């Protein structure tokens, strides 16, 4: 483990220690009841997946302030660091687990990846993530990463019925949380599950792909 990862892990442990705690079993069972109710109400699994992502987006938009405050985040020098912060600090704070990050191949055709890195530096500097200090070349930075969650607590006590196993994205709320939180700091991303333990994969994996650096829009008082 690199020094940066150890520091982020320590930051995550500290932030987790300062969080209000609830019973893990209660949290997991409550989420399971939510998914079950959505299936009963909506009946269409694709709609359930979309609703979970939509709910997560709303949560992420609200959680970002608490994350920035309690993690005392000061800078993210590139998109890789941003994803590492999610894996080592964000997951630890709100789920009590750590994830891992690895570079992935983008699914979208981004015209100029290097310009994303440069633009991100400007955007992050003006956001609550703090002052960016670029120290990596464009060859070192990707706009697409896989977030690996070896032990997703939302999966505890869950076994998907065969009719849902290939369609239901059980933890899709996490994709929405990530998307909503990053959008609040001017990073528009696309998030999707690529593997899931509930579908007999070895690990839960979420692809996080940077699509656009959003600009602050200031309205005239006139």
Query: How far is Cα 74 from Cα 185, in angstroms, rounded to an integer?
Result: 13
pLDDT tens by residue, 90-106: 998 889 899 999 999 88
Q: What CATH code is carried by the domain that includes residue 88?
A: 3.30.1380.20
CB 148 within 8 A of CB 100: yes
pLDDT classification of 136: cutoffs 50, 70, 90: very low
Is 110 among the domain residues?
yes
In this structure, of 24-28, 41-45, 151-155, the range with the lowest mean pLDDT score is 24-28
Please give the model's pTM, rounded to 2 decimal places: 0.79
Structural domain span for residue 123: 3-213
What residue has token string 């600090």? 89
The answer to whether residue 221 sits within a structural domain is no
Q: Indicate the DSSP class of residue 93.
A: H
What is the percent of the chain with per-residue pLDDT over 70, rounded to a whole number? 70
Domain assignment present for residue 128? The answer is yes
Q: Is the model's pLDDT at 148 over the cut of 60?
A: yes
Please check whether residue 222 lies inside any domain of the structure.
Answer: no
Which residue did the predictor score with more confidence, 70 or 53? 53
Whether 182 is covered by a domain: the verdict is: yes
| pLDDT tens sequence across 24-41 | 888 899 999 999 999 999
Side-chain-facing half-sphere of 200: CA atoms under 13 Å: 5
Q: How many domains does the chain have?
A: 1
- What is the per-residue pLDDT for 118? 37
Has residue 138 been placed in a domain?
A: yes
Residue 19 has pLDDT above 90, yes or no: no
Tens-place pLDDT, residues 163-206: 999 999 999 999 999 999 999 999 999 999 999 999 999 999 99
Q: What does the mean pLDDT of the chain come to?
A: 80
Res 116: pLDDT: 44
Tell me: pLDDT of 78 over 90: no
> Is residue 186 a contact partner of residue 123, using CB atoms and an 8 Å limit?
yes
Residue with tokens 């070895």: 202
In a domain, 198, yes or no: yes
- pLDDT above 60 (res 139): no
């Amino acid at each position: 483990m690199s020094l940066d990862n150890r520091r982020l892990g320590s930051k995550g442990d500290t932030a987790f220690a300062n969080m209000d705690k609830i019973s893990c079993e209660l949290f997991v069972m409550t989420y399971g009841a939510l998914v079950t109710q959505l299936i009963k109400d909506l009946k269409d699994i694709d709609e359930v997946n979309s609703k979970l992502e939509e709910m997560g987006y709303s949560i992420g938009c609200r959680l970002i302030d608490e994350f920035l405050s309690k993690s005392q985040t000061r800078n993210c020098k590139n998109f890789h660091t941003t994803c590492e912060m999610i894996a080592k600090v964000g997951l630890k704070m709100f789920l009590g687990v750590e994830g891992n990050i690895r570079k992935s191949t983008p699914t979208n055709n981004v015209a100029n990846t290097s310009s994303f890195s440069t633009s991100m530096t400007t955007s992050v500097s003006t956001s609550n993530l703090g002052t960016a200090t670029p120290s990596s070349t464009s060859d070192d930075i990707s706009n697409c990463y896989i977030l690996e969650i070896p032990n997703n607590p939302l999966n505890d006590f869950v076994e998907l019925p065969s009719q849902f196993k290939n369609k239901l994205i059980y933890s899709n709320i996490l994709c929405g949380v990530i998307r909503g939180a990053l959008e609040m700091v001017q990073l528009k991303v696309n998030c999707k599950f690529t593997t899931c333990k509930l579908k007999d994969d070895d690990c839960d994996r979420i692809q996080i792909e940077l699509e656009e650096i959003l600009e602050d829009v200031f309205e005239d008082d006139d």
